Amino acid sequence: MRAINNFFARLEYSEKWIITITAVCMSLFHLYTAGIMQMTPWLQRGYHLLFALIIVFLYFPITKREDLRFLKVIDYLLVGLSLATVLYIPLNMDDLISRAGMWDWNDAIRGGILIVLVLEATRRVCGKALPIIAMVFLLYALFGHHLPGLLAHRGYSLQRLFTQQYLTMEGIFGTPLGVSATYVFVFVLFGAFLQKSGAGQFFIDMAFALTGRSRGGPAKTAVIASGLMGSISGSAVANVATTGPFTISLMKKVGYKPHFAGAVEAAASSGGQFMPPIMGASAFIIAEFLGIQYILVVAAAAIPAFLYFLSIFASVHFEAERLGLRILKKDEIPDWKKVMKEGFYFLTPLILLIYLLAVTRVTPTRTAFWVILLTMVLSWIRKHQRMAPREIFQALELGAKNALTVVTACACAGLVIGVITLTGIGLQLSTLVIALSGGIMILALLFSMVGSIILGMGLPTTAAYIIMATLGAPALIEIGVHPISAHLFVFYFAIISAITPPIALAAYTAGAIAGADVNKTSITALKVALAGFFIPFMFVYNPELLMEGAPAQIVLGALTASVGVVVLSAATIGYMKIRLLLWERGAFFLAALFLMYTGVANDLVGLGIIAFVIVTKFFIKKEKLDIPIKSQKTE
């Protein structure tokens, strides 16, 4: 046994090179198909999945124990099975097409093997939650005909299920994997090039230079920087791990408590996924589901994203005032002119990105191809930032590794979508939601909110959204919610789940970095991002917040909603220039609710409540503003 372990130990060095070369080849393959020559969906999705499976089974081994190295033979076996099952399709495409609908047990067995491979790969990368959900759906396809009422279907054989998942575009190789193979991967790769080129640090320095001289500046830096990077990365947890060590340490340095610093980073990183223009590449998935142009999704998401980040910005400002945190010294803050002089050109890829997508309407994949090339070229402007072949090689490898979560999650989500399509359970669940809600919109929204949060806990946002877009959004649309409102509604709550206890992965990651209690960090993140739980309801009932309606209505709705989220943040923190009493916090909370539901009458009531509190507190009682002790140390 020792000899076998030693043999596999000697293989580890070669294995690392295999992983690196496969990852680089995966990125080069996607750049080639994005900018030079497109491939048919079967080939694009097949090679996309194959690259990912090979990397996953080697990069995430079955065990890391040195005395059990011999078990790595299982990883090599899984790699071999991945090659055999995935390559079987392109190598036998003509035969499979000629036998369409008449596939045999040999095809079914290969399909069953690939299903197991996808489940295992997803378990290794994303954890157990999504594979368990997929297995429940697979079992439902096999045994659902024994269930009573609406949940029953006519029943499907093992052969039918496996071949449908394996050899059609309504299973593993369906829309989720298609979006991952075309749109998502290249934008994840773009994020890797930003990171390796120094552009990521430029965005952080720019945010710090903008906010550093205000009270609580480092926290405001975290909000801006994490929002920008989160929009590109598409993963709240990955974004916390990337920007968190810098922003959290800065927040702690100026006096924020560790759990609050972690909470701000988690809330901002999560919100980055619905921040235009990229929205973590989810904007393309939403557009694909709705069959509308990408730019319409981005436009609809703009005001809700602004409201979310405004609420976090207000929360950290009020907390800074409450604690009396010092303002950083001038020499502690990056000089704005110097930052812009040394890195302003890194804004060019984002400008080009928006121009190509919004003005010239170039496809997202081709757009990503050009902005990646531009980022690489721009890095050569300054000597210390130049991307030499080594850095380019590292960016290609990093992009592929960062995309593994999305690839495996989308392939696994395809299993769920395949069962939903095969059995028609989506329509049945929509009927059930409508029946339980009695056709009352607010109840249907609450059911969908709970479903999105539960599904989103522990799942990648992309996978959670895809499942809810198939199960939850149709029910909302059927009771009268506008399609784009319905899809953004479930999408937002799938994102918020990253900071919602009891499974709040982004908050747990931030808490670990901050050295704080992870549960306390999660609860604080929930408070900081409280407005995020109201914003989806706001835009469902107020379509002007999604750019629907006359310009005057859109502007008025955005203004009153902005006031609403600010006073909601004040109520949550319990401070606005001075400590708020319990009844004053309650009054602000009530005012926020009125202002969030736009309408002249509601706006007047909300503004009236705010005016009453302010007049009572500062003019009738004549309470003095708090002068925190720490503020005496400020410059």
Alpha helices by DSSP H, 36-128:
41-59, 72-91, 93-98, 105-126
Determine how many CB atoms are found less than 10 A away from the CB of residue 626.
Answer: 13
How confident is the model at residue 121, as a pLDDT? Answer: 95
> What SS3 state is found at 504?
coil
Q: Which amino acid is at 253?
A: K
Half-sphere exposure of 34 (CA within 13 A, CB side): 30
Rounded Cα distance, 232 and 140, in Å:
36
CA-based nearest residue to 167, from 79, 119, 120, 98: 98
Residue pLDDT, tens place only, 532-591? 889 999 999 888 999 988 898 899 889 999 999 999 999 999 888 888 889 989 999 999
Residue 222: partners with Cβ closer than 8 Å, 6 or more residues away = 243, 247, 248, 250, 251, 261, 264, 265, 268, 316
Counting Cα atoms < 13 Å in the Cβ hemisphere of 335 gives 5
Residues of the chain below pLDDT 70? 1-13, 66-67, 233-234, 280-281, 427, 458-459, 620-635
Peptide bond connecting 543 to the previous residue in cis, omega within 30 degrees of 0: no
Crossing angle for the helix pair 217-233 and 258-271, nearest 10 degrees? 40
What's the CA angle centered on 417, arms 425 and 470, to 5 degrees?
Answer: 65
**Nearest residue to 155 via CA among 147, 146, 145:** 145
Integer Cα distance of 308 and 533 in angstroms: 9
Give the model's pLDDT for residue 458: 61
Q: Which residues contact 72 (CB under 8 A, 6 or more apart)?
A: 8, 11, 61, 62, 63
Q: Compute φ and ψ for 579, nearest 5 degrees.
A: -65, 135
Residues 419 and 158: beta-carbon distance below 8 Å: no
Q: How many CB atoms lie within 10 A of CB 148?
A: 6
Give the contacts of 114 (CB within 8 A, at least 6 positions apart).
Answer: 82, 85, 86, 165, 166, 172
pLDDT digits (tens, 9 = 90+) for 218-227: 788 778 877 7
Locus of tokens 């011999």: 70
End-to-end Cα, the chain, rounded Å: 68
Contact 120, 60 (CB under 8 A): no
Domain boundaries, the chain: 2-128, 176-295+314-406, 550-635
CA distance 59 to 6: 19
Instruction: Tell me how crowded residue 306 is: count the other CB atoms within 10 A of its CB.
Output: 18
CA distance 261 to 495: 20
- Phi, psi values for residue 121, rounded to 5°: -60, -40
Taking the model in full, what pTM does it have?
A: 0.77
CB-CB neighbours of 356 under 10 Å: 18
Predicted confidence at residue 635, as pLDDT, reads 38
Alpha-carbon distance of 44 to 373, in angstroms, equals 21
Question: Strand locations in 460-511, DSSP E?
Answer: none
79 residue type, one letter: V
CA distance 328 to 342: 22
Three-state secondary structure call for residue 361: coil
Distance from the Cα of residue 630 to its chain's centroid: 37
> What is the predicted pLDDT for the residue at 632?
40
Upstream peptide bond of 277 is cis (omega within 30 degrees of 0): yes
How high is the pLDDT of residue 633? 42
Q: What angle do CA 378, 380, 384 make, to 5 degrees?
A: 120
Task: Tell me which residue of 354, 317, 324, 348 sits closest to 221, measured CA to CA.
Answer: 317
With tokens 């005016």, the residue in question is 611
Phi first, then psi, for residue 580 (nearest 5°) are -95, 135
pLDDT at 621: 63
Q: Which tens digits make up the pLDDT trace of 469-513? A: 888 888 899 888 999 999 999 998 888 888 887 777 788 888 888
